[in-house]
Chains A and B, each alone.
Chain A
Amino acid sequence: MAEIDESLVRHVATLARLKPDDAEVASMTRELTRIVGYIDCLNELDTDSVEPMAHPLALRNVFRADEVRASISAEEAVGNAPERERTFFKVPKVLDTGGGA
């Protein structure tokens, strides 16, 4: 079980684009340690022969045919955007270093 310390909390916060202050980091570290520690009791079970569960439902193979369904209009799509330009979403400038596909 990985130990939850402040550096891990800060790392996770960065990944989630959150900016907690020092006090928040301290309290989150305490709370997350308790939560993860509670779940940790599952480790008492021997799960060596248990397949990892990929999905809680026993359903498999839910498909749709490759058929076009109506989309919403571009006006509707950008209607709730805080900022737009024509039918583009307009956002603060981003540098092209994203994860990408």
Chain B
Amino acid sequence: MSTDAEIQTRLIVGFEIHVQLATKTKLFCGCALGFGETPNSALCPVCMGLPGALPVLNRQAYDYSVLTGLALDCEIAEFTKWDRKSYYYPDLPKNYQTSQYDLPLASNGHFEIETKSGTRRIGILRAHLEEDAGKNLHDVPGCSLIDLNRAGTPLLEIVTQPEIHDPEEAYTFCTELQKLVTYLGVTHGIMQKGQMRFEPNINVAITTGGTEYRTPISEVKNLNSFRSVRSAIEYEFHRQVHDWKSDNGYLIKERPNENRGWDDDKGVTVFQRSKEGADDYRYFPDPDLVPVTVTQDWVNEVRLSLPELPAARIKRLTTDLKLTTEDAAAIVANRATADLFEAAIEAGGPATTLMKQYLNVWAKLANDQDASIAGLGVGHEAMASLAAMTEKGVVNATAANKIAEALIGSDKSPETLAEEMGLIAVLDEDQTEKWIDEAFAENADAVKDAVSSPKKAKKAAGFLRGQVMRISGGKANPKITGDLIEARLAELASEG
């Protein structure tokens, strides 16, 4: 990715991504997820690893995993089994993690992202299900406090091919993947809560004098923000090139691969441990869990719940409804919100006005409530009617704002609310003329400017229209008012 006088470098990045699935319960027991505040309050003999407990697989976790595999164009394995990955750590009560070792449930997929240099297709090596460990707290001197509420939470681990060559591309990949899995509804995907954790494997190919050298691979553990993914990769690229320049023996297989952590405050990666030799986890099949066989019928059934994916949906909305890519992307970002939008279109909402209200009126109200537009609880029919009323001029834009706000938490129709709130625009010309009479009488100077001062005419006419709106209490129709004012001014001008 850069050319020195004598060396060329190419960054190589692959990802391991842990996605916490949005099931109600743990992977192998019925303990609730969502973790109450009380430590160790969501435990049972299974997730505590007590002797004699019998784990049973959560079907929903498997379905979510198959769905994700399909969205990533993976092959879904017909047969998988469960393996024990043994290691000792206080947050791992059974002293092994239940995982899928040699038979992942999905493999050989890919995921396409749009980058500055065009569409990039990143290979997905595999995706498998496993359980999370508990949490360690180190805030008491000399000891660690263990909370096992998280132990047994279903994680889908997605492993990519090392096919990313730019920190910005890595950033895009991670953000788009997060959008995809939240769109599928398989995870809540909240980064701050650690529901998606990214671990890039990074090294650099350095070419000099016709020979290519590769630096040892470093794995940066548990990144939980997109920004830190990009920064850690940038940092590692420069560090590895620097380390190779000062020691030409800094090469894969000659120096150990290592695990590193990311220090967000200092903006550096920190050495954690070197991986001398392969880790010895002594995987073996779990005798407590029986294998899973997935039939074609099962896969087809899951495939039915595969929604139209964001990229395709954005494309369709821009083509069918003539929305800009930017507007379509804003709507599609949240699946429920996009569904609501399309239902409102289906119910007869005029696309352009609905779009404007969606991105201005509804988005603002949602933002005020810290909710999504769908989360406001206003139905698609009400949204469609309000847009239609606005388009027809039955209510004006300001009134539409007020009605939208009133619709939240109300079971009344926009028509009813408009009437009750006295916001129905007056289309009647005689009534409008009366308001104009009043406005003209009150603002003789502005009328004079509008008629005889070419410089000020436009502004004065706008001012007069505003006065009519004010006098009418917002009920005047702006278009009718404007037309009538214009006619009246023309008349006055011709009278001289």
Pairing of A with B: yes
In chain A, positions 14-34 with a C-beta closer than 8 Å to chain B are 15, 17
Do B273 and A97 touch across chains, with their CB atoms under 8 A apart?
yes
User: Using Cβ atoms and an 8 Å threshold, which residues of chain B touch A85?
Assistant: 140, 143, 145
Assess whether A72 is interfacial by the CB under 8 Å rule.
yes
Report the interface size class on chain B: 35 or more
Contact A72 B87 (CB under 8 A): no
Q: How far is the CB of B329 from chain A (nearest CB, A)?
A: 32
User: Are B60 and A57 in contact (CB-based, < 8 A)?
Assistant: no
Q: Say whether, besides A64-B59, A74-B39, A90 and B23 are in contact (CB < 8 Å).
A: no
Note all chain A residues with C-beta closer than 8 A to B48: 77
* A15 and B39 within 8 A (CB): no
A residues adjacent to B (C-beta < 8 A): 11, 15, 17, 54-57, 59-74, 77-78, 83, 85-94, 96-101
**9 A-B pairs with C-beta separation under 8 A:** A15-B86, A17-B88, A55-B289, A56-B287, A63-B62, A64-B30, A87-B41, A90-B145, A99-B87
Partner of B32, one of A55, A61, A62, A71: A71
The residue on A at minimum CB distance from B131 is: A101
A72 close to B25 (CB less than 8 A)? no
B residues in contact with A93, CB < 8 Å: 138, 142-144
Q: A66 touching B25 by the CB < 8 A rule?
A: yes
The 5 closest A-B pairs by CB, nearest first: A69-B30, A98-B89, A66-B60, A88-B145, A63-B59
> B46-65 CB contact bits vs A (8 Å, 1 = yes)?
00100000001111111000
Known contacts A65-B60, A67-B25; is A90 also within 8 Å of B155 by CB?
Answer: no
A65 to chain B, nearest CB (A): 6
Q: Are B56 and A91 closer than 8 Å at their CB atoms?
A: no
Q: B44 touches which one: A61, A71, A89 (CB < 8 A)?
A: A71
* A-B contacts at CB below 8 angstroms, number: 153
For B90, the chain A residues whose CB sits under 8 A away are 89, 91, 94
Could you tell me the distance between the alpha carbons of A100 and B137 in the complex, rounded to whole angstroms?
A: 15
Instruction: Say how far B213's CB is from chain A's closest CB, in angstroms.
Output: 29
- List of A residues within 8 angstroms of B148 by Cβ: 77, 89
| Distance, CA A61 to CA B291, complexed state (A) | 6
Q: How far is the CB of B426 from chain A (nearest CB, A)?
A: 56
Complex partner residue of B58 from A61, A66, A70, CB under 8 angstroms: A66
The CA-CA distance from A64 to B61 in the complex, in Å, is 10
Of B275-283, B365-373, B450-458, B486-494, the stretch lying at the interface with chain A is B275-283
Q: What residues on B are CB-neighbors of A90 within 8 Å?
A: 140, 143-146
Chain A, Cβ-Cβ closest to B133: A101
- B39 adjacent to A61 (CB under 8 Å): no
A65 contact set on B, CB distance < 8 A: 59-60
Report whether B133 and A88 are in contact in the complex, using a CB–CB cutoff of 8 Å: no
Interface residues of B in 249-298 (CB under 8 A from A): 259, 272-273, 279-282, 285, 287, 289-293
Inter-chain contacts of A68 with B (CB < 8 A)? 24-25, 30-32
